[in-house]
């Protein structure tokens, strides 16, 4: 699913300011037809794609509530950061990071 949100063609958007992209994403996901109870996922996926198309190098993070599963299910969250700073959604306290998509590959220097 995450590959859908990776731009495959040329970056179509100009390098817009981060706050403009964040406001636009918030506006776009305000009245959902699908995924009504998944606001952070909608805004995270849309924000990640918009930031990539604008030439940024975002990271999409996924976490779950540390308290674990309840009868209501698992509480999960997602947010987008650039250079370690959250720009779309904020991390939630008490959540454990599970996965980060788009993380830059760090290579160790050759000895």
Residue 43 near residue 77 (C-beta atoms within 8 A): no
What's the number of CA atoms in the CB half-sphere (13 Å) around residue 1?
5
- In the predicted structure, residue 7 carries a pLDDT above the cut 60: yes
Which H or E run contains 76? strand 76-82
CA distance 81 to 51: 10
In the numeric block, the tokens 């699908």 are attached to: 34
pLDDT-wise least confident of 14-23, 24-33, 51-60:
24-33
CA distance 108 to 111: 9
Mean pLDDT calculated for residue range 95-104: 85
What is the 3-state composition of the chain as percent helix, strand, coil, each rounded to the nearest 5?
A: 25, 25, 50
């Amino acid at each position: 699913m995450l590959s859908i949100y990776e731009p495959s063609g040329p970056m179509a958007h100009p390098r817009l300011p981060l706050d403009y992209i964040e406001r636009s994403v918030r506006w776009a996901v305000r009245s959902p037809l699908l995924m009504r109870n998944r606001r952070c996922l909608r805004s995270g996926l849309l924000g990640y794609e918009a930031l990539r198309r604008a030439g940024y190098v975002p990271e999409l993070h996924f976490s779950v509530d540390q308290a674990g599963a309840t009868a209501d299910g698992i509480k999960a969250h997602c947010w987008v950061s650039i250079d370690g700073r959250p720009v779309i959604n904020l991390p939630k306290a008490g959540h454990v990071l599970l996965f980060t998509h788009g993380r830059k590959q760090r290579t160790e220097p050759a000895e």
